[in-house]
Amino acid sequence: MAEMKTILRTFRLGRLYGVAAACLAAGSLYGCKDFLTQSANPQGTLDATTLSNKAGVEGNLIATYRALDWNGPVGGNWGNAASNWIWGSVASDDANKGSEASDQPGIDPVEFYDWGAAGAQGELNDKWRGMYEGVSRANATLRLLKTVVANAPTTITPTEANGIQGEATFLRARYHHEAWRMWGAIPYFREDDTDFRKANLSKAEALAEIIKDLDAAIGLLPATPRNGNKGRVTSWTAKAYKGRVLMDAGQFAAALTVLREVKASNVYSLETSYDKVWTGFSDYANGPETVLAYQASANDGAPDGNNANYGERLNLPHSGSHFSCCGFHQPSFTFVNLFQTDPVSGLPLAIVNTPAGQPVLPSGTWNNIDAELAATCPQVGVPYDCVSTATMSLDPRLDWTVGRDGVPYKDWGAHAPAWIRSETYGGPYSPKKNAHEKASNAESTVGWTNTQLNSVNIHLLRYADVLLLLAEAEIEAGGAAGLENARTIVNDIRTRAGVKAQGPGLDRATIAVALTDPTITWAKYKVGLYTTPFASQAQAREIVRTERQLELGMEGQRLFDLRRYNITTPNYFENTLNAYIAKEKSVKRLQKLTQAQTVATKHEEYPIPQTQIDLTKASGGAGLTQNPGW
């Protein structure tokens, strides 16, 4: 069955890929050098007339999907990565910027919560441009569709038209929701808008527009991917995504109804083992757990490789490794410590050692190890103290998520100190989920530092995320049965976590092995289940919140989760991050965080880029209003 990434690499001359996507996006005059060429002489230009046909409509729609990740000069670079690694992970307790101070310094003030600083403003502006470029492409698709249906009604069938409209409407909602999660009060653009200088809607008004578009998409989309193309959104994608939006808004009862429907549909299921979730193996791509993903495409004919995982390319081990660069997005000490489990029960030590119903804060005793957790510790204090995990009880998801010294890094050999760019700046750990396996052949053969580029799909919403959102909704709105329903969900997630662990990685067959495999010498993996009912709503919240970080860590969700927790637990966001800063800036960890600001109410929304405020007020426009405190 053809997949969306196949479409991304084959739609050219009546098909589309790479820079062609940017050219088609606006549906108005673009003259793109070397596009639609078979020789040195241009074959034509693209304008609304040229694109007013079925191929043009479909091309614009693919260009709208393409904007899910970094998108060249219209969307900046790392600030517009599909995974939100800067905004959801580095700005949380999952990770720090990593690398070294002199590389990509604009990310430093994001990590230090100094979001009004010039560098952070540049990254924020890239994110804003990327989201509204996606909105623009969705609206261009809808305008073209209306033109073609009106002028040549037989070229696109009503069923096809509904599918195209549904996909574009969903993507418009998705881009606006990303902006809403970042900034709250945002402008909302539809296909008939003609002036970009609109004022913000309130946060509640913008939310209502997002839900309106999602409801429209649900009504238009088929239940299975259009044309059989995996990667296209369906009515179930839109329903699951609506559940996320409702949870972000604190509309728990409404979310419970939607998320229960998604679960009962049996359209999605958990992968059989955790190693199949983030992977370069093509036979696992778009598996049963995928709800929405950026379809990364390597070796598709694009000479620069940029249709691959461009937004993630910095986030691999540095020059001592096969990947050669660049050592960003390094897991924090706090995050790594969270994966300790009780050696008897196999439950998270953070839960076992926290009084029932109390917040699991980084200041807890579970986070008292200030040393690197490595397979073996031949050296101490170079530059960190070290604790061997050879006999330590750990959740196996740690070693699918984090590169640690002495532990196999998929099938690339053991992670080593030489793989880290600057340990004193970023710590001893590497990100791992977005890395491809050597045996997968997912690595790009072209592009700058091609060893960084791969076709690992970037999950934007996966079923484990949906299930854990449902568990939250059950706790908040599920009544007497809700706590037990939530316990069942958490146990399902933990059962899957215990199926396979990182193995020696000598070949494909030994990358993932049983937890008790005798070749494992770097940990004693143990994942237990919650065998007794949750004692209270407060305890259930902490268990689910901890499980979300263990399951979804380093996937760009954490900061947005912490903000959502403020709805039911006031100041949870601020208290967690301030405790993290206090712990992590220890002389034994990352002293650079002594530069971090105190996290306060204003950090519950990112500041709107000043550049965008100025642009929207030009020539008498209504203009955007800055978020409070910035």
Provide the mean pLDDT of the chain: 92
- Close Cβ partners of 251 (under 8 Å, ≥ 6 residues apart): none
Structure tokens at 440: 């997968």
pLDDT at 50: 81
Helix residue ranges per DSSP H, 298-411:
333-337, 349-352, 398-401
Contact 98, 427 (CB under 8 A): yes
pLDDT at 330 over 70: yes
Strand partners, 461: 292
The verdict on 358 and 488 lying in the same domain is yes
Q: How confident is the model at residue 48 (pLDDT cuts 50, 70, 90)?
A: confident
pLDDT at 45: 56
CA distance 496 to 494: 5
E-strand ranges in 448-583 read 458-462, 501-502, 512-513, 524-525
pLDDT at 29 over 80: no
pLDDT at 622: 85
Mean pLDDT of 72-80: 78
* CATH code of 382's domain: 1.25.40.390
The verdict on 540 and 607 lying in the same domain is no
The verdict on 530 and 390 lying in the same domain is yes
Contact 293, 434 (CB under 8 A): no
pLDDT at 323 over 70: yes
pLDDT at 228 over 70: yes
- Close Cβ partners of 545 (under 8 Å, ≥ 6 residues apart): 360, 561, 565
b/e map of 75-113 (b: 16 or more CB within 10 Å)?
bbbbbbbbbbbbbbbbbbbbbbbbbbeebbebbbbbbbb
Mean pLDDT of 274-303: 97
Q: How confident is the model at residue 36 (pLDDT cuts 50, 70, 90)?
A: very low
pLDDT at 207 over 70: yes
Query: To the nearest whole percent, how much of the chain has pLDDT over 70?
Result: 92
Structure tokens at 314: 């910095």
Mean pLDDT lowest among 432-441, 508-517, 556-565, 610-619 = 610-619
pLDDT at 380: 74
Q: How confident is the model at residue 77 (pLDDT cuts 50, 70, 90)?
A: confident
On the 0-12 / 13-18 / 19+ scale of CB atoms within 10 A, 416 is middle
pLDDT at 73: 63
Q: How confident is the model at residue 69 (pLDDT cuts 50, 70, 90)?
A: very high
Mean pLDDT of 187-203: 95
The verdict on 192 and 110 lying in the same domain is yes
Q: Please check whether residue 578 lies inside any domain of the structure.
A: yes
pLDDT at 624: 97
pLDDT at 382: 81
Between 380 and 479, the higher pLDDT residue: 479
CA distance 153 to 105: 53
Q: Please check whether residue 146 lies inside any domain of the structure.
A: yes
Q: Please check whether residue 79 lies inside any domain of the structure.
A: yes
pLDDT at 75: 62
Closest residue by Cα to residue 72 from 136, 130, 132:
130
pLDDT at 41: 41
Q: Please check whether residue 349 lies inside any domain of the structure.
A: yes
Angle, CA of 71, 76 and 82, to the nearest 5°: 55
Q: How confident is the model at residue 28 (pLDDT cuts 50, 70, 90)?
A: very low
pLDDT at 39 over 60: no
The verdict on 618 and 572 lying in the same domain is no
Strand partners, 374: 388
Strands 501-502 and 458-462: unpaired
CA distance 426 to 420: 8
> How does DSSP assign 224-280, residue by residue?
S-GGG-BTB--HHHHHHHHHHHHHHTT-HHHHHHHHHHHHHHTS----SSGGGTS--
Q: Please check whether residue 378 lies inside any domain of the structure.
A: yes
Q: Please check whether residue 77 lies inside any domain of the structure.
A: yes
* CATH code of 85's domain: 1.25.40.890
CA distance 196 to 185: 15
Find tokens 């908040």 and name the residue: 476
> How does DSSP assign 528-550, residue by residue?
----S--S-HHHHHHHHHHHHHH
User: Within a 10 A sphere around the Cβ of 440, how many other Cβ atoms?
Assistant: 21
Mean pLDDT of 85-100: 98
The verdict on 348 and 417 lying in the same domain is yes
The verdict on 75 and 144 lying in the same domain is yes
pLDDT at 37 over 90: no
The verdict on 532 and 418 lying in the same domain is yes
pLDDT at 40 over 60: no
Q: Read off the pLDDT of residues 126-136 as tens digits, 9 standing for 90 and up.
A: 999 999 999 99
> What's the domain count of the chain?
2
The verdict on 91 and 156 lying in the same domain is yes
Contact 366, 350 (CB under 8 A): yes
Q: Please check whether residue 41 lies inside any domain of the structure.
A: no
The verdict on 383 and 408 lying in the same domain is yes
pLDDT at 436: 98
The verdict on 82 and 130 lying in the same domain is yes
Q: Please check whether residue 244 lies inside any domain of the structure.
A: no
pLDDT at 188 over 60: yes
CA distance 311 to 313: 6
The verdict on 395 and 523 lying in the same domain is yes
pLDDT at 193: 95
Contact 262, 466 (CB under 8 A): yes
Q: Read off the pLDDT of residues 365-375 as tens digits, 9 standing for 90 and up.
A: 999 999 999 99
Query: To the nearest whole percent, how much of the chain has pLDDT over 90?
Result: 88
Structure tokens at 603: 């950090």
Q: What is residue 581's DSSP assignment?
A: H
pLDDT at 155: 96
On the 0-12 / 13-18 / 19+ scale of CB atoms within 10 A, 151 is exposed
pLDDT at 478: 98
Between 70 and 512, the higher pLDDT residue: 512
Find tokens 């998604």 and name the residue: 262
| Domain span at 384 | 325-432+479-583
pLDDT at 13: 21
pLDDT at 354 over 70: yes
174's enclosing H/E stretch is helix 158-183
